Amino acid sequence: MEAERLQPGDRIHRGDPIRVNRYGPAARANHWIIAASLILLSISGLALFYPVFFPLTALFGGGQWTRFIHPWIGVVLFFSFFVFFFQLWRANLPTRTDVVWVSHLKDVVAQNEDKLPELGKYNAGQKFIFWAMSGLILALIVSGVIIWDQYFADATAIPVKRVAILVHAIFAVLIICVFILHLYAGIWTRGTLRAMTRGSVTGGWAYRHHRKWLKQMVGARRIDPAE
182 is catalytic: yes
Cα angle: 42, vertex 27, 88; to 5 degrees: 90
Residues in contact with 181: Cβ distance below 8 Å, sequence separation at least 6, in sequence order: 129
Closest Cα partner for 37 from 144, 128, 146?
Answer: 144
Kindly name the residue from 13, 31, 70, 182 that is annotated as catalytic. Answer: 182
Q: Is the CB of residue 41 less than 8 Å from the CB of residue 84?
A: no
- Residue type for 154, please? D
Q: Is the CB of residue 186 less than 8 Å from the CB of residue 192?
A: yes
Active site residues: 182
